[in-house]
Amino acid sequence: MGSSSLIFLVVICLLACSGIMVLVWIWAFKIRNAGVVDIFWSYNFPVIALLLVLFADGFAPRTILACSMIGIAGFRLGTHLMVRIVSHIDEEEGRYQQLRKEWQPNPDRAFFWFFQAQAISNVLLAIPFFIIAINTAPNLSVLEYIGTGIWLIGFFGEAIADWQLKQFKKDPKNKGEVCDKGLWNYSRHPNYFFEWMMWLSYFVFALASPYGYLAIISPAIILYLLLKVTGIPATEEQSLRSKGDKFRAYQKTTSVFVPWFKKG
C-alpha cells in the first residue's frame, strides 16, 4: 500500500469519526449533557477498526487481530460508559458542568469544537493501527504475540476494576464512601492504569511493522492525558468535592496509578 492509500485510510476514518461527533453533539445539545461524548469517543475506535479491516490491504490476519483488540476494547468501554451515563442522563458529570461554567457565554459552541477535537484524537491515537494495517509481511512476529499478551492483561484488568467499582456503587450503604475494595485497594485509578496498559500493548504490537516506533505517540499521549489533563486530575478534583476528607485519607495511603501496596 502506497502513501496515497495510507492518506485515504486516514481521511475516511477522520470523516467517519467527525461525522459521528457532529451527531453526538446534536444529541448532547438537546439533552444538555456533554458527558455522552465519552461514550462515542470509545465507540469511534471500533469504527476505525472496521474501516481498516475493510479497506487496508496489509496481511489480513495481522490487521484482523490488531483491529479486534481495539474494537473489543472500545466497544466494552463505550458500553460500560453508556450504561453508567444513560442511567443518569439528566445529571451531567461534574467535570462537564465545570467546563460549561468556564466556557460561558457560549458553552455549546465550545463543546462543538471540543467534540471535534475528540474525533481528531481518535484518529491520532489510532496511529499504531494504521502502521499495522499496511504491513504486508506474511507472518506474525514474537513482538505481536507479546503485544497481544499485554493487551489481554490490560483488558481484563480494566474490566475487573470497572466491575468492582460498579458493585461498590450499587450498595446504598456506600453512598459518599470511597471504594477501596479489590484492585481499588492498590490503586486509586486501576481502570486508568489497565487502560494505559492496553495502549502500551498496541505500541509493542506495532514495533513488528516498519516505522512501528512511531506508535509510541499513542501510549505517550494517553499517559499524559491520564496523569496531567482529563483523567486523574479531573477525577480526583471531583472526588475531593464529593467525598472530602475520606478521599484525602485514601490519597495518603494508596498509589495514584500503578497498583501497589498500601503506604504506612
Does 24 lie in the same domain as 116?
yes
Does 232 lie in the same domain as 104?
no
Does 134 lie in the same domain as 11?
yes
Model pLDDT for residues 189-227, shown as the tens digit of each residue:
999 999 999 999 999 999 999 999 999 999 999 999 999
Instruction: Please give the share of the chain, as a percent, with pLDDT higher than 90.
Output: 86
Does 234 lie in the same domain as 161?
yes
Pick from 115, 126, 91, 105: nearest CA to 205: 126
Tell me, what's the pLDDT at 148?
98
Does 245 lie in the same domain as 196?
yes
Domain that holds residue 231: 141-264
Residue after which a domain boundary falls, among 120, 139, 158: 139
Residue after which a domain boundary falls, among 115, 139, 163: 139
* Residues constituting the chain: 264
Tell me, what's the pLDDT at 4?
52
Q: Look at residue 2 and tell me whether its pLDDT is greater than 50.
A: no
Instruction: Please give the share of the chain, as a percent, with pLDDT higher than 70.
Output: 98
Does 120 lie in the same domain as 160?
no
Tell me, what's the pLDDT at 64?
97
Q: Which helix (H) or strand (E) holds 67?
A: helix 60-86
The pLDDT-based confidence of 32 (bands split at 50, 70, 90) is very high
State pTM to two decimals.
0.90
Does 232 lie in the same domain as 178?
yes
Does 101 lie in the same domain as 172?
no
Place of cell 485510510: 9
Other Cβ atoms closer than 10 A to 264: 4
Does 53 lie in the same domain as 117?
yes
Whole-number Å distance between alpha carbons of 154 and 149: 9
Is residue 42 a contact partner of residue 81, using CB atoms and an 8 Å limit?
A: yes
Whole-number Å distance between alpha carbons of 163 and 141: 33
Place of cell 450504561: 83
Residue after which a domain boundary falls, among 104, 139, 174: 139
Does 147 lie in the same domain as 69?
no
Does 186 lie in the same domain as 68?
no
- Structural domain tally of the chain? 2
Does 208 lie in the same domain as 117?
no
Whole-number Å distance between alpha carbons of 97 and 107: 10
Pick from 173, 172, 201, 197: nearest CA to 183: 197
